Structure 1
Amino acid sequence: MTWRMPAETEPHTCTWMAWPSSGYADGEDAHQAWAAVALAVAEFEPVRMVVDPAARKTARDRLGGAVEYFEAPLDDAWMRDIGPTFVVGPDGLGAVDWVFNGWGGQSWATWEHDAGIARQVAEWAGATVVSSAMVNEGGGIHVDGHGTVLVTETVQLDPGRNPGWSRERVEGELRRTLGVDEVVWLPRGLTRDYAEFGTRGHVDIVATMTAPGTVLLHVQTDPRHPDHELAPRLRKALPAGWKVVDLPAPEGLEDEHGPVDHSYVNHLVCNAGVVACTFDDPRDAAALDILAAAYPGRRVVGVDARAIFARGGGIHCITQQEPAIPGGEP
């Protein structure tokens, strides 16, 4: 079977999410943020929310009938990473089931339940499971749908994820599961992403492809922030001739834990829309304008993502699109 991961800009059947119900991802501010994202996405396409049975009432109180509910035990709520990566093939929908081990075996992470969510979501979606022996997460890849994938050296080659794996082996597995021809390796992710609740460098917070050969790049313009020197390194790693569109970071530089990783790159493209991170920052409006220009014909909706970022991710991290089957109805 030949599989292909469609670009996020291609039609979706729905978006999958998971409701925060335990551990550090739980809390009133998290419930408010996750609900705001779900309701924003629901303006454009159906939302399917996986809910731990113990959190059934909390989720329904927030979301009512705006989403479709599926119950399963959960450890965490980052559907991009614990859920499947959807692909399409001649016989329909596929779902890549990466090995999930808590972002490289982080000391604070638990994944007894989350390690099985990809297969459960695949079953609910009616998708063929594409098994993989590689430890990976959906936030660690970005595709253009035309044969290219972006990754970072510190994720797929992380000793905590894939000890002993070479670039060649990783690339071979990405070709087999995602149907890509070219793997573009970026050196690393944002500084905060290597702190306690980080992922060790997910690409979906620093760069995304809006079309083949066009990249939206997180750019920290303030030299006081440690990520100021990152954008030039990332540019050098991109193939020659690619168009790079700068997406400047918010003005806010730090919180009580140090330099922040607030990024407008971590958005979700939906059917006819874009759901983007905002931070009550002077640069929010300009960032939404850049996104509107990058995705012509789509309505851009901003959602305050500070409570999500405080827990180690953004809007893209808590969502996972299910592509529509070519020839079917989105």
Structure 2
Amino acid sequence: MYPNELNYTMPPEWGKHERTFISWPVKASMCFPEDHESVCQGYTDIIKAIAEFEPITVVVNPDELEAVERLVGGPNVTLLPIEHSDAWLRDNGPTFVVDNEGTLAGVNWKFNAWGGKYSPWDLDDKVAPQILESLGLARFDAPLVMEGGSIHTDGEGTLLTTEECLLNPNRNPDLERGEIEDRVRKYTGTEHIIWLKQGLSGDETDGHVDNLACFAAPGKVIIQVCDDPQDENYGITLENLQILENAVDAKGRKLEIITIAQPPRVNHEDSRLTLSYLNFYFVNGGIILPVFGGTAAETDKLAEQVLADVFPDRRIRTVNGMAVIREGGNVHCTTQQMPAGK
């Protein structure tokens, strides 16, 4: 049976967490292995920030356990030895779902390293089942290549995604749009999908929604926008904003839309870095927000203020967003929340 037939649904990220999962970076698979030390420091800072709010489990290659323990060991931090090649657990980790009784289970999506971009990915495709096994949770194996960063739910039946990613032929070339939508609904327990178009310029994930937009609450969406007509993101975000303005959710509600101004463009080796404040992460009682400094100092402050206004009961905890971004993602991409059951 499918998760939705057993009344399992994907809860919203702002709900109570049991803990967070994160994977430790692997030098051999990094785009810029010369940055390994600074990237590890970035992960250390993210892990310690999250541990201020809730328990966090770090997935570590067995031969690195002692070294990682020295860096991140402390209250609220545990290590879980699992072999892996890449460290973006949002994308290759399990998607947790919960039923009406509060029983947790996990969806194991197929993973092919963002459309076959980084080989090998066989170890990473096996991470989610091992996490679920370590927790003793039931597992639903979904016949769909998909990454967790490509979807976002309001917890009340509505899911956000992008056509650029979910319909990309490098994921599920043999499936039509309707078949993909049907499988996403069955395994997340959602009823209605709002399809945005493209993701942000420079995003090598083929347009993950977690850089672009997210629900702040049922009926309320935050989107990062660009006001420079010369920037590729101007047209991209304008089109997505118009889609949201015309959309309704699973309950038939029009959406309240909150905008966050994008940080100034930053390039690395002639490629644009996908800087996004929307790659923040909900924790119990707080938000972990990547900020970028330098030319982004002003937009950093604006983003922090917007989130403080939207979430007055949460502490906004900033981390250095430049520490890991050259590897292709940020705080939300590195993490996966395990919701609290009953």
TM-score interval, smaller chain:
over 0.9
**In 2, distance between residues paired with 1:257 and 1:293?**
36
| TM-score of the superposed pair, with normalisation by structure 2 | 0.90
**In 1, distance between residues paired with 2:97 and 2:192?**
17
Q: Which moved more, 1:76-85 or 1:109-118?
A: 109-118
**In 2, distance between residues paired with 1:109 and 1:243?**
41
- State the secondary structure of the residue aligned to 1:265: helix
Question: For each residue in 1:94-121, what CA deviation from the matched residue of structure 2 results, as whole angstroms up to 9, or x when unmatched?
Answer: 1000000111111x33212111000011
Q: Partner of 1:272 in structure 2?
A: 285
Q: Unaligned 5+ residue runs, structure 1?
A: none
**In 2, distance between residues paired with 1:201 and 1:252?**
17
Q: Does 1:297 align with 2:313?
A: yes
Q: Partner of 2:261 in structure 1?
A: 248
Kindly indicate whether the alpha-carbon contact (under 8 Å) linking 1:83 and 1:320 is maintained by their aligned counterparts in 2. yes
Aligned equivalent of 1:311, options 285, 302, 327: 327
Letter in 1 for 2:211: I
**In 1, distance between residues paired with 2:119 and 2:207?**
16
Q: Partner of 1:137 in structure 2?
A: 147
Letter in 2 for 1:210: A
Q: Partner of 1:103 in structure 2?
A: 114
Q: Does 1:11 align with 2:16?
A: yes
**In 1, distance between residues paired with 2:94 and 2:304?**
28
- State the secondary structure of the residue aligned to 1:232: helix
Letter in 1 for 2:206: R
Q: Does 1:257 align with 2:270?
A: yes
- State the secondary structure of the residue aligned to 1:73: coil
Q: Which moved more, 1:67-76 or 1:23-32?
A: 23-32
Kindly indicate whether the alpha-carbon contact (under 8 Å) linking 1:225 and 1:259 is maintained by their aligned counterparts in 2. no
Letter in 1 for 2:136: G
How far 1:151 sits from its partner (Å)? 0.9
Q: Partner of 2:73 in structure 1?
A: 64
Question: For each residue in 1:233-269, what CA deviation from the matched residue of structure 2 results, as whole angstroms up to 9, or x when unmatched?
Answer: 0012220531111111112443333333101000100
Letter in 1 for 2:260: L
How far 1:131 sits from its partner (Å)? 1.1
How far 1:155 sits from its partner (Å)? 1.4
**In 2, distance between residues paired with 1:259 and 1:21?**
23
- State the secondary structure of the residue aligned to 1:145: coil
Letter in 1 for 2:19: C
**In 1, distance between residues paired with 2:260 and 2:87?**
27
Q: Partner of 1:220 in structure 2?
A: 226
Distance change in 2, residues 1:248/1:228 (3 Å): same
Query: What pairs with 1:7-86 in structure 2 (closer than 5 Å)?
Result: 7-22=12-27, 23-24=29-30, 27-66=36-75, 67-86=77-96
Letter in 2 for 1:100: F
- State the secondary structure of the residue aligned to 1:75: coil
Distance change in 2, residues 1:262/1:2 (3 Å): same
**In 2, distance between residues paired with 1:159 and 1:249?**
29
Letter in 1 for 2:50: V
Question: For each residue in 1:198-256, what CA deviation from the matched residue of structure 2 results, as whole angstroms up to 9, or x when unmatched?
Answer: 11111100000101121110112233321121111001222053111111111244333
**In 1, distance between residues paired with 2:277 and 2:331?**
10
Query: In percent, how many aligned pairs have the same letter?
Result: 35
Question: For each residue in 1:34-64, what CA deviation from the matched residue of structure 2 results, as whole angstroms up to 9, or x when unmatched?
Answer: 1111111111100000100122233112102
Aligned equivalent of 2:160, options 128, 146, 150: 150
Question: For each residue in 1:153-196, what CA deviation from the matched residue of structure 2 results, as whole angstroms up to 9, or x when unmatched?
Answer: 12111111101312211121121111111111111101101xxx
Query: What pairs with 1:61-210 in structure 2 (closer than 5 Å)?
Result: 61-66=70-75, 67-90=77-100, 92-106=103-117, 108-193=118-203, 198-210=204-216
**In 2, distance between residues paired with 1:171 and 1:178?**
11
**In 2, distance between residues paired with 1:293 and 1:160?**
39
Q: Unaligned 5+ residue runs, structure 2?
A: 1-5, 249-253
| TM-score of the superposed pair, with normalisation by structure 1 | 0.94
Q: Partner of 2:3 in structure 1?
A: none
Kindly indicate whether the alpha-carbon contact (under 8 Å) linking 2:273 and 2:328 is maintained by their aligned counterparts in 1. no
- State the secondary structure of the residue aligned to 1:192: coil
